[in-house]
Structure 1
Amino acid sequence: MPNTAPTALRCLVVDDDPLAIQVIQNCISHTDFLESAGSCASAIEAAAALRTTPVDLLFLDVDMPQMSGLDLLDTLVEPPMVIMVTSSREYAVAAFEHRVVDYLVKPVAYARFLKAAQKALETAQTPAAATPSGGPITTDHTFVKVDNKLVRVAFDDIRYVEALGDYVHLVTNQQKLIVYSTMRAVEEKFPPQQFVRIHRSTIVNLRHVQAIDDNAVVIDGKHLPIGQTYMREVLQRLNKF
């Protein structure tokens, strides 16, 4: 996608159910910042269409014959933004591992559709890179201050962040870093599509969530408690309610 966000997001709907296509197309027609680029009845058809049709946003079903929506994403070198639309809740974690903007469960109500579309619009309007106070940041990594030096950390490598008084404990797949920061600063610095606060003292990377066990998020076998005030947001982000 170009650095300048389009005035309207061009949308391609991919689903093997004609009625489901009709529902999403109707939602698109009622949303002033979206425009339809057509529809495809299979992932194979969509793969061919994407080679010739400029698209900003895919509304993509998961379960389709011959090739699933997730399989389609694996074939795309530079995929557009994606909102999954499916009748199955079980693919939510896998979908977010593919960096989808949102995950809608059928039947789709317009209010929920609009919320997902607005997320896509915000993503399209976010600059590819920015430099906030505290260090440079890009779409795939950040720099954190550790022992008077800046350490580069990839967002994908971060498992979770825990508060430690005036510091935060940043756990990655390679190391554990003690960073002088507040949880609020972490929330503002980390991409909101990828991270969610589950407790006043814990932020987790959605791409590493293995399970929800009672009132805890499970990452790498570790149970991280979900605060009652955060439960609804966590479940909404994982589309599990």
Structure 2
Amino acid sequence: MPNSAAPTTLRCLVVDDDPLAIQVIQNCITHTDFLESVGACSSAIEAAAALRTTPVDLLFLDVDMPEMSGLDLLDTLTEPPMVVLVTSSRDYAVAAFEHRVVDYVVKPVAYARFLKAAQKALETAQAAPAPAAAAPVSTDHTFVKVDSKLVRVAFDDVHYVEALGDYVHIVLGQQKLIVYSTMRAVEEKFPPQQFVRIHRSTIVNLRYVQAIDDNAVVIDGKHLPIGQTYLRDVLQRLNKF
């Protein structure tokens, strides 16, 4: 059941290098009572700047754009809004899954198909858990749900965390916990002074970093690639740790 704080209106940004495509999506937004347009951008670069200053709940995003693609834009965002990919190609289904987009709509866009994608976004937003009341924060452990039980995880035991579809793998040496979660939720639970995100799909415990080798973090002999947008922060954190 949606929580009482669930949004009833989603603020939308349209990103496409085709003016006609922008007009079509904007018209669809106008005809959808739970959507509100906050603007449109003709390039991913322009959108990146807009997202820094404009609150956005839902991004209607083209993929093939000059200079920076829509998927490249998503790779630069640490906390992206919900995304509906709108593209003339059917070849991005795997990439859409990897980026956890809400839906994938192929041009030309019919309103019925647009509405289905918009409703999925609204349901996703309304299903998000309500902010919990403030509670004492543990400094050394957290609990994660594995299958049907809550498992206590000490932060010092976690070597790294990897995303895989709708799940994350929490690696504790030879043990691996498979948890239904997002990387954002992991970041919120794990102490930032001890953990750093090195890729949109990887968070590592700084205590277990053995080396940096060719833009990869080495933990337990495994090379974990560093995303280009995270490289500077990772190096700074390692120097300060």
Q: Which residue of 1 aligns with 2:105?
A: 104
Q: Which residue of 1 aligns with 2:61?
A: 60
The question of whether the paired residues in 1 share the 8 Å contact of 2:6 and 2:130 is answered with: no
1:124 and 2:125 correspond: yes
Q: Which residue of 2 aligns with 1:10?
A: 11
Report the RMSD for the aligned CA atoms in angstroms: 3.4
1:144 is matched with which residue: 142, 147, 171? 147
Aligned residues, how many?
157
Q: Which residue of 2 aligns with 1:114?
A: 115
The question of whether the paired residues in 1 share the 8 Å contact of 2:98 and 2:165 is answered with: no
The question of whether the paired residues in 1 share the 8 Å contact of 2:13 and 2:58 is answered with: yes
- Partner amino acid for 2:93? A
Q: What TM-score comes out, normalization by structure 2 length?
A: 0.56
Structure 2 residue runs of 5 or longer lacking an equivalent are 132-143, 153-160, 182-241
For 1:30 and 1:22, locate their aligned partners in 2 and report how far apart those are by CA, in whole Å: 12
Aligned-partner SS, 1:37: strand
Q: Alpha carbons of 1:123 and 1:159: their partners in 2 closer, same or farther (altered >3 Å)? A: closer
- Partner amino acid for 1:73? L
Structure 1 residue runs of 5 or longer lacking an equivalent are 131-140, 161-171, 178-189, 192-241
1:26 and 2:27 correspond: yes
- Partner amino acid for 1:10? R
Aligned-partner SS, 2:7: coil
Q: Which residue of 2 aligns with 1:90?
A: 91
The question of whether the paired residues in 2 share the 8 Å contact of 1:43 and 1:69 is answered with: yes
Deviation at 1:95, TM superposition (A): 1.2
Q: Which residue of 1 aligns with 2:71?
A: 70
For 1:19 and 1:129, locate their aligned partners in 2 and report how far apart those are by CA, in whole Å: 38
- Partner amino acid for 1:28? I
For 1:157 and 1:38, locate their aligned partners in 2 and report how far apart those are by CA, in whole Å: 33
The question of whether the paired residues in 2 share the 8 Å contact of 1:142 and 1:155 is answered with: no
For 1:159 and 1:24, locate their aligned partners in 2 and report how far apart those are by CA, in whole Å: 28
Aligned-partner SS, 1:58: strand
The question of whether the paired residues in 1 share the 8 Å contact of 2:82 and 2:121 is answered with: yes
Q: Alpha carbons of 1:37 and 1:129: their partners in 2 closer, same or farther (altered >3 Å)? A: closer
Q: What TM-score comes out, normalization by structure 1 length?
A: 0.56
For 2:118 and 2:103, locate their aligned partners in 1 and report how far apart those are by CA, in whole Å: 8
The question of whether the paired residues in 2 share the 8 Å contact of 1:81 and 1:100 is answered with: yes
**CA deviation map 1:95-129 (0-9, x unaligned):** 12111000000001111100000000001101337
For 1:30 and 1:44, locate their aligned partners in 2 and report how far apart those are by CA, in whole Å: 28
